Structure 1
Amino acid sequence: MKKIFSIFLLWGLFLNAQVGINTLTPNSTLAINGSLRAGYKEVTATTYSILATDHYITYNGTGNTTFTLPVIGTGTTSYTGRVYKIKNISASGITLQASSGNTLRIDNTPVASFVIPTGAYAEVVNNSNTAGGTWDMSFTVLPKPSNVEIYGAQLSIPPHASASSPVADWTNHTNTAYDTGTGTDTWWVVSKSSTTYAHTANYANASRMMIVYEYQGAPFNVNNMYPILTAGNNSSFPDVFTASFVSLANNGTGGKTRLTVSVARIDFIGINGNNSNWAGTFLLNLLLARKY
């Protein structure tokens, strides 16, 4: 009689479509009220064939490696829905490839392999294989560079002091009309010094200006910081400029960061229907990159 009771109990478990672990009220096919453990493996070999028993794999080798996914078959080796998680903590790359006859899908175009760079993570899942032998890249995370800081801003290039509509040079931030930014993320033009063109039979010097900008936020760490400057023009004037870096130092008011730049007009020199001492307000695109 006990044997019959056990058989009926087992049959009842098979009929129940929802199974709970550490819960009496499962709300899914499998409901786990607690932690979940899956296989973990750290690999250092230069080639590795991923096993059917693998789940989370970390690579910590000293050279580039190739991980090969299992061969997709039928029945118990169809692998539909199987997930592999791969993390690269080495200084080298992982080439993740499908087995011969199988493919990887990053988008809807199958590929043979995918490179997982240093610090990156990838997940692959086996699809339903209606098209035959495909692993989908379900998730990839590329690392953020940890040794680079980048800051960008757009500053003003004021009109020349000797233009047809001149704006006099100044020092000590006596003109606030050409400051840019908001709040503490503001750049002041603390001074500008204009030099007019010089055009003779022996030489030609462009109209130019020395500008000192001061950042009103917390001073930048200027160690190993490299400014990248480009001049822009969003006006109706055809003027073309070049910008040259002079200095970047925390020597401003109260130790604020000051950037000194030389700009010059290069589309023409002298008088050619217009005065090459520019009368408009133009743009200086600033990118500060610091490597540490």
Structure 2
Amino acid sequence: MKTKNIISLSLLWSLTFSAQVGIKTTTPNSTLAVAGSLGADYKQITTTAYTITATDHYLTYNGAANATFTLPVIGTGTTSYTGRIYKIKNISASSITLQASSGNTLRIDNTPVASFVIPTGAYAEVVNNSNTTGGTWDLSFTVLPKPSNVEIYGIQLSIPPHANGTAPVADWSNHTTTSYDTGTGTDAWWIISKTSTTYAHTSSYSNASRMMIVYEYQGTPFNVTNMYPILTAGNNSSFPDIFTTSFVSLANISGKTRLTVSVSRIDFIGNNGSNNSNWTGTFLLNLLLARKLY
């Protein structure tokens, strides 16, 4: 018994009077130095209303509806909680409203708020500061949810000259012309065919110049299920050209993803002096592919 008392007194003496305490180390370099792992309380919550306790540390929510987590009431002395940290992770399909107790606040910036919403897939840490007047919890760290359920891919493609312009470029098929391909390596897009239709301008009707273009992606084919193309045509010249693009099809054919679009010039129809509406420049097609994951 005497030996145990001596050990207990020695440990108490070191904890009380030593400036630094080490666990599994004889040379602590901090007030408390741990040469090993550190464990703290972990709890998974499924109820929609939960009051965070003095013994909680890491909380995970996996309930079936929106939940409210309420922080402890900040007081003085042993309930001042200065420096206490809570870690909260939301793995549910619902949201968590983290709220301060009555009279207390949360601080995101310099404007106190009563609550903070932790959405699906997000994580937040709160730490109690030294303010006991009114009581404040600082949101010291937040992580946004995982990316949304949409994959996005974007690239800028070329719109080649029309086959019936004043400086025509003949139509082609089977990728016999490579001058208007874009991208490099596996992120390359080829124009494997283009088909031009000249303007029609008569006394009874007018049709705009247009061209059907088939682009083929040379990398791993896209998963085109639930994929939606967004197309915008750009004018990269000083000509007053205005283009409109229409989506025709997106499909995987022979191990390649093919995008077919129809491009029309709507600036004017017919002849304009020595120029005509069958365009002769090379213009831009901005392509954005968005796929819904789930």
TM-score, normalized by the shorter chain, greater than 0.5: yes
Q: Look up the equivalent residue of 2:231 and give its one-letter code.
A: L
Query: Could you tell me how far apart the structure 1 residues matched to 2:289 and 2:281 are?
Result: 26
Aligned pairs (5 A) from 1:100-139: 100-129=102-131, 132-139=134-141
Q: Distance in 1 between matches of 2:206 and 2:243?
A: 16
Q: Which residue in 1 is equivalent to 2:25?
A: 23
1:74/1:266 Cα in 2 relative to 1: closer, same or farther (>3 Å)?
farther
Q: What's 2:47 paired with? A: 45
Shift of 1:271: 3.1
Separation in 2, partners of 1:8, 1:22: 17
Q: Provide structure 1 residue ranges, at least 5 long, that are not aligned to the other structure.
A: none
In structure 2, distance between residues paired with 1:147 and 1:154: 24
Equivalent-residue separation in structure 2 for 1:164 and 1:128 (angstroms): 78
Shift of 1:208: 0.9
Q: 1:4 to 1:47 in 2, by over 3 A?
A: closer
For residue 288 of structure 2, give the secondary structure of its aligned residue in structure 1: strand
SS in 1 for 2:106: strand
| Residue-pair matches, total | 290
Indicate yes or no: 2:179 matched with 1:157.
no
Match of 2:237 among 235, 238, 257: 235
Of 248, 253, 259, 2:250 maps to 248
Between the aligned partners of 1:18 and 1:33, the Cα distance in structure 2 is 13
1:219 corresponds in structure 2 to 221
Distance change (3 Å), C-alpha of 1:251 and 1:53: same
Aligned: 1:64 with 2:101: no
Asked if 1 retains the 8 angstrom alpha-carbon contact of 2:76 and 2:132, the reply is: no
Secondary structure of 1:14's counterpart equals: helix
Range 139-148 or range 149-158, more displaced: 139-148
Give the Å deviation of 1:102: 2.5
CA-CA distance at 1:147 after TM superposition = 4.4
Counterparts of residues 59-208 of structure 1 (less than 5 Å): 59-129=61-131, 132-145=134-147, 147-208=149-210
**Matched-pair identity in %:** 81
Partner of 1:284: 285
- Between the aligned partners of 1:174 and 1:247, the Cα distance in structure 2 is 22
Q: Deviations over 1:103-137 (max 9, x none)?
A: 22223333322211112211111223288532222
Q: Which moved more, 1:234-243 or 1:83-92?
A: 234-243
- CA distance, structure 2, for counterparts of residue 214 and residue 69 of structure 1: 56
Q: For 1:224 and 1:286, locate their aligned partners in 2 and report how far apart those are by CA, in whole Å.
A: 16
Instruction: Give distance in 2, aligned partners of 1:97 and 1:194.
Output: 63
Q: 1:18 to 1:278 in 2, by over 3 A?
A: same
5+ unaligned residues in a row in structure 2: which ranges? none
AA aligned opposite 2:268: F
For the pair 1:36 / 2:8, whether they are aligned, the reply is: no
For 2:253, what is the secondary structure of its paired residue?
Answer: coil
Q: Pairwise CA RMSD of aligned residues? A: 2.4
Determine the C-alpha separation between the residues in 2 that align with 1:267 and 1:100.
65
Q: Which amino acid aligns with 2:115?
A: S
Amino acid at match of 1:94: I
Deviation per CA, 1:157-197: give whole Å up to 9, x if none.
11112223222211111221111111111001111111122
Aligned residue number for residue 269 of structure 2: 269
TM-score by length of 2: 0.89
State how far apart, in whole Å, the 1-side matches of 2:42 and 2:73 are: 21
Instruction: Give the TM-score, by structure 1 length.
Output: 0.89
